[in-house]
Structure 1
Amino acid sequence: MAAASYLLDTNICIYIRRERPQGVLERFKALAPGSTAISVITYGELIYGVRKSPNPDKAMAVLQELIALIPVLPVAIDVAKTYGAIRSDLAVRGELIGNNDLWIAAHAKSVGLTVVTNNESEFQRVEGLKIENWARG
């Protein structure tokens, strides 16, 4: 199993689960197992989606299938330190981003992973963060 290189944002997980856009699924399938991971923050967002689903049991089963393929990374103290540094920098520049996106960015940056997202406008504000958008093809 390969070491993770990519931290998937919530929207990318949803695209993989729904198998569209097709390019996202193709890119995911082309990678070696273990090349991707999600933050526990993303997992929380996905659980929120399950809870508000009209069929939460089915949605949870689908999420469990996804999690079997993509490990969930816990948040360590280095992530919190990186979060504080990024948030401070963004505040000084007047360019705040959504709190969950900020945590996901901090998680990726602290462990050296590339964030895969279709929400580039938020994540691009974080200096030094590696970003890819598989949805753009």
Structure 2
Amino acid sequence: MAVCSVVKAELFYGAMRSNSPTRTLERQQGFLGRFVSLPFGDETASVCGQVRARLASAGTPIGAYDLQIAAIVANNLTLVTHNTREFERVDGLQLEDWEVEA
């Protein structure tokens, strides 16, 4: 299992907005340290632009962070999320809803 850098950024933001940012960040670092990190690099940026253009042409855009997450996992990875409504718009993306029993 892995966590992408975009998700980490969202988690860090949440920690900084919490009542005790230092403690929350320490706990997050311990938790996130167990996972491989998937970066948002140049190749992913290219995929992101392509996916965004396709979705815009179809009139079905998704949020910027979700778009970046989709681009990161578009390389034959499965995205585990409960936000399937947004991600279903991305062709070929493999999804697994963590709230639905297999």
Common fold, TM-score beyond 0.5? yes
Secondary structure of the 1:135 match is coil
Matched residues in 2 for 1:64 and 1:47: separation?
9
Q: Could you tell me which of 72, 79, 86 is aligned with 2:37?
A: 72
C-alpha RMSD of matched pairs (Å): 1.0
Gapped regions of structure 2 (runs ≥ 5): none
Give the TM-score, by structure 2 length: 0.93
Q: Could you tell me which of 64, 70, 76 is aligned with 1:112?
A: 76
Secondary structure of the 2:33 match is helix
How much does 1:68 deviate?
A: 1.5
Q: Specify the code of the residue in structure 2 equivalent to 1:125.
A: R
Matched residues in 2 for 1:43 and 1:132: separation?
19
Misfit runs of 4+, over 4 Å: none
Identity of aligned residues (%): 36
Tell me what 2:92 maps to. Answer: 128
Alignment size in residue pairs: 101
Name the one with the larger helix percent. 1
User: Relative contact order (C-alpha < 8 Å, sep 6+): which is higher?
Assistant: 1
Gapped regions of structure 1 (runs ≥ 5): 1-35
How much does 1:113 deviate?
A: 1.0
Matched residues in 2 for 1:105 and 1:49: separation?
21
